[in-house]
Amino acid sequence: MDGFINLLKPPGMSSNDAVGYVRRLLPKGTRVGHGGTLDPDAAGVLPVCVGRATRLFDYIIDKRKTYVAGLRLGVETDTQDAGGRIVARHDASAVTEENIRALLPRFTGEIDQIPPAFSAIKRDGRRMYDLARKGEAVALEPRRVTVHAAEYLRRTGPESHMLRITCGKGVYIRTLCRDIGQTLGVGGHMAFLLRSEAGCFRAGDAVTLEELKAAAADGRLDALLAPMDAPLSAYPAVRLDARHEKPAANGCPIPPEWHGARFAEGDIARVYLENTFAGMAQADGENTLRFRAMLMERN
């Protein structure tokens, strides 16, 4: 059993707990992982890698993600979200929708963002959230991250607003909400978070834990698996002839005369043996491809 499950993670469950739930439904010994952590209080798309698809983690983790977030102005929390302890209150009644719309371009493109103290980032082998809970939080250095788009959707309450954020790897949406509030001079936090897209995976096509459980009981889990190459269509593809199957399966480099394409050094490509997805390869300076994630069994 190999492929991806587009899971709709519920709030109140960590990504690792969700993966554990899926693992218990699969045949014993099946490898399972997830393609990008989603905070426990957040809901939405969590790509789950099953079987040999776990070897493809590095090729799906950097894909664009889209979130719908609730911005609550006037209230600051220590975790930057609704689950934290309130540390400050301010009057945000004067902030208008136009104020927020005018500010959002400052939070798009490449920006510097300081990760929150309550995060899974490690410092000297210890998670930052463990240090923060013990009052030992340390300041983290700003990180360069990319926000592709920040869109104002609508007001949801007197001091509450809904945003849609499309971003790359490493962006903390709760920190973005906190920073928007601080820039407006009234503070703020993330009231809720829904990840609506992760790469090619969409919330509208995702399955719930209950649907997975029912499918497992009926022996239909295979039908919920997306093919291993489904989230990799952005990478170019090369196809090898059947005569190359044995050397390729044994990890031999794939020379230009086999694949017939042109690649720059460092380029990544999907490799197929005729119509069977064989894995991901990287080009060297002489246009030779070398496997970095092989899905075939060695001969």
Q: Which CATH architecture has domain 3-63+200-230?
A: 2-Layer Sandwich (3.30)
pLDDT tens string for the chain (299 positions)?
Answer: 899 999 999 999 999 999 999 999 999 999 999 888 888 889 999 999 999 999 998 888 767 899 999 999 999 999 999 989 999 999 999 999 999 999 999 999 999 998 886 555 555 556 555 554 656 566 677 899 999 999 999 999 999 999 999 999 889 999 999 999 999 999 999 999 999 999 889 999 999 999 999 999 999 999 999 999 999 998 999 998 888 888 888 878 889 988 888 999 999 999 998 888 999 999 998 899 999 998 876 55
Look at residue 128 in the predicted model and tell me its pLDDT.
56
The answer to whether residue 229 is catalytic is no
Catalytic residue among 2, 39, 179, 229: 39
Distances (CA, A) of 16 to 12, 35, 48, 190: 12, 11, 10, 22
Look at residue 35 in the predicted model and tell me its pLDDT.
82
Ranges assigned E (strand) in 40-113 = 43-50, 65-73, 75-77, 86-89, 109-113
CATH number of 235-294: 2.30.130.10
Q: Encode burial over 204-214: b for 16+ CB neighbours within 10 A, e otherwise.
A: eebeebeebee
Phi, psi values for residue 106, rounded to 5°: -70, -15
- Token pair of 107, please? 């939070």
Look at residue 174 in the predicted model and tell me its pLDDT.
94
The residue among 83, 74, 81 whose CA lies nearest residue 157 is: 74
Look at residue 169 in the predicted model and tell me its pLDDT.
87
Name the burial class of residue 72, with classes exposed (0-12), middle (13-18) and buried (19+) by CB atoms within 10 angstroms of its CB.
Answer: buried
Instruction: Report whether 235 contacts 60 (CB < 8 A).
Output: no
Residue identified by tokens 């954020």 is 165
One CATH from 3.30.70.580, 3.90.420.10, 3.30.2350.10, 3.40.50.450 for 70-163+181-189 = 3.30.2350.10
- Length of the chain equals 299
- The answer to whether 3-63+200-230 and 235-294 have equal CATH topology is no
pTM of the model: 0.86
Show me where the domains of the chain are located. Answer: 3-63+200-230, 70-163+181-189, 235-294
Give the number of other Cβ atoms within 10 Å of residue 250's Cβ.
11
- Token pair of 254, please? 């794939």
Look at residue 129 in the predicted model and tell me its pLDDT.
58
Please report which helix (H) or strand (E) contains residue 211, including its range: helix 209-217
- Token pair of 120, please? 């899974």
Residue identified by tokens 């309130």 is 86
Residues with Cβ within 8 Å of 12's Cβ and at least 6 positions away in sequence, in order, are 40, 41
Instruction: Report whether 113 contacts 175 (CB < 8 A).
Output: yes
